[in-house]
Chains A and B, each alone.
Chain A
């Protein structure tokens, strides 16, 4: 399926003048945002600032009340159903809890997108699923386990494996390291870096993990006052003159993560 207007060199995601509101409660207003190709961008913002709403909007789960979203130069609202489905195959999502299908084993979970969108023979699909399981660092025997038998960290890895099933060009991660212990979290960070090197995808992640921000994000976008006020390298963002940004990056936790990142 060839998507008209698809431009590999255009930014993977671009939002122009986005407006989101629930009734009279305005979440985002005039929000502009661009994701660069093959970067890892972290979105930060206070609780209730609309990070999840923004992610759902960028994913197409929520239709914005105003503004436009472009994927690789294509206007999302002008794609027809088939083109939109083809575009969705270029996008992988890791939801916060993994969102694995609880009635399927890990291997079957990873095979779902393959089964739906390719005509691969069953044994090859199994092998590819097992390869993805290996790539995300799960033990081989995890393939036949059900999601309820997995720990939180394993669920995230399995969810990541499923989101990578079709080799997406664009990966959305919703708090990928939340709820993991520091060792597991930094292993997960390194996993994302390694996979990016091998698979060349662009990552947009919502995170509160300061260590992740310092170690793997190329750029950080700050969502306050219904807008992305700044999206830049961390050193620039830290000096941005806004009280919330100063508080966020000036707190003791942030300083600790920063020194740890330097060592």
Chain B
């Protein structure tokens, strides 16, 4: 068991003798730190003699507390001497005494920090918007140039990415869309039953799935699944200086990383949206059929779709997907390239990548709704 550290102060003239005993180690030292500080504060001296004769053990933490006698007086340099048999003690006390010379800065908090943070966030938001638009512009230039010389597009990585973004995402997109279609059908069934107009649920399901839900489910899955992957992949490459290496070798990062991802998104998103439409309507159809005696048979359901649903709803849904796909790819890649050296920045960039992608997609979708309303389709 460790001995408690104790000390004794003899004050003579302008000199103090500090004798220590017990274990002055990091695990024990907390007991006497405050007391020693209080005892030393009122004393007036300019020489300290340290007596190590009864000291059982000392480590750097102990030495630091022990050397406080030299340090707690701020006016000028002090003389000190040691009574010890071990040369290591002198080294330790010297190191501890010197540590006082370079007092490290504290980081203070002020009442106006909140204002600073509001300002930083505002300017950060504005520069994010600006940077994203600048990135989009630069990307479009490279993209159009590449479309004119399609042999330079990296088709191999495009195909690989389509598999990852499109094919692998198909099951989850279809499953979720199926559920959404079923939920709408239940909602419509209970609402329209009170008018005795159940057959209109076909219109409601088909139009809402075709126009909005299939597209939105697809792009939200894309944003959560692929956009975050883009940021993490490119961000990790950036951290490991792979991006720098590519630049030095003469590869354009837009050409090699951004454009293939954008093309893969552009191809995958409409296909996924189409699959989502099919399974969403399928979900609605099943629920409508299961309604017992009031149910709508699949044949009636399909006939009614053919008779009353305008194909323009399908095109409204499809025309939006490439725009969303492009936004997702560009935001994911931009955030990835904005990662700096630290792990923190990779995490925060991935978060803001997903948030920005969903934000961008939903606001653009609202803009589309306004546009189509005014155009009258």
Determine which of A119, A126, A140, A164 lies in contact with B60 in the assembled complex, contact meaning CB atoms within 8 Å. Answer: A164
Q: Which chain A residue lies CB-closest to B342?
A: A148
**A144–B107 CB distance below 8 A:** yes
- The answer to whether A263 has its CB under 8 Å from any CB of chain B is no
Chain A residues with Cβ below 8 Å from B92 are: 198-199
Chain B's nearest CB lies how many Å from the CB of A121?
Answer: 6
Determine which of A114, A131, A141 lies in contact with B96 in the assembled complex, contact meaning CB atoms within 8 Å. Answer: A131
Question: Quick one: CB contact mask for B73-106 with A, threshold 8 Å, 1 for yes?
Answer: 0000000000000011001100110110111111
Determine which of A114, A128, A143, A198 lies in contact with B105 in the assembled complex, contact meaning CB atoms within 8 Å. Answer: A143
**B88–A128 CB distance below 8 A:** no
**B342–A167 CB distance below 8 A:** no
**B88–A120 CB distance below 8 A:** no
Q: Which chain A residue lies CB-closest to B61?
A: A128
Docked CA distance A83–B161 (Å): 51
Determine which of B25, B88, B103, B104 lies in contact with A198 in the assembled complex, contact meaning CB atoms within 8 Å. Answer: B88
Chain B's nearest CB lies how many Å from the CB of A147?
Answer: 7
Chain A residues with Cβ below 8 Å from B65 are: 124
**A102–B91 CB distance below 8 A:** no
Determine which of B26, B64, B105, B340 lies in contact with A141 in the assembled complex, contact meaning CB atoms within 8 Å. Answer: B105
Q: Which chain A residue lies CB-closest to B34?
A: A121
**A132–B102 CB distance below 8 A:** no
**B25–A167 CB distance below 8 A:** yes
**B104–A118 CB distance below 8 A:** no
Docked CA distance A84–B107 (Å): 37
Of residues A124, A166, A197, which shows the largest number of chain B Cβ atoms within 10 Å of its Cβ? A124
- The answer to whether B171 has its CB under 8 Å from any CB of chain A is no
**A132–B60 CB distance below 8 A:** yes
Chain A residues with Cβ below 8 Å from B342 are: 102, 146-148
- The answer to whether A135 has its CB under 8 Å from any CB of chain B is yes
Determine which of B30, B59, B99 lies in contact with A120 in the assembled complex, contact meaning CB atoms within 8 Å. Answer: B30
Chain B contact patch, size range: 20 to 34
**With contact pairs A124-B33, A167-B26 given, residues A197 and B104 touching in the complex (Cβ less than 8 Å):** no
- The answer to whether A222 has its CB under 8 Å from any CB of chain B is no
Chain A contact patch, size range: 35 or more
**With contact pairs A102-B344, A134-B99 given, residues A118 and B64 touching in the complex (Cβ less than 8 Å):** no
Chain B residues with Cβ below 8 Å from A146 are: 342
- The answer to whether A93 has its CB under 8 Å from any CB of chain B is no
Chain B residues with Cβ below 8 Å from A103 are: 343-344
**With contact pairs A127-B64, A128-B64, A134-B99 given, residues A118 and B30 touching in the complex (Cβ less than 8 Å):** yes
Of residues A107, A121, A128, which shows the largest number of chain B Cβ atoms within 10 Å of its Cβ? A128
Chain A residues with Cβ below 8 Å from B107 are: 144
Chain B residues with Cβ below 8 Å from A182 are: none
**B104–A133 CB distance below 8 A:** yes
**B33–A139 CB distance below 8 A:** no
Chain B's nearest CB lies how many Å from the CB of A90?
Answer: 11
**A144–B105 CB distance below 8 A:** yes
Q: Which chain A residue lies CB-closest to B71?
A: A127
Of residues B26, B65, B104, B343, which shows the largest number of chain A Cβ atoms within 10 Å of its Cβ? B104
**A135–B60 CB distance below 8 A:** yes
Q: List 17 A-B contacts (CB under 8 A).
A: A119-B30, A121-B34, A128-B26, A130-B104, A131-B60, A131-B95, A134-B99, A134-B102, A135-B95, A140-B104, A144-B104, A148-B344, A194-B91, A198-B60, A198-B91, A199-B88, A200-B88
List 11 other contacts, CB 8 Å, given A102-B342, A197-B91: A2-B1, A118-B26, A121-B34, A124-B33, A126-B104, A134-B95, A134-B98, A148-B341, A197-B87, A198-B88, A199-B59
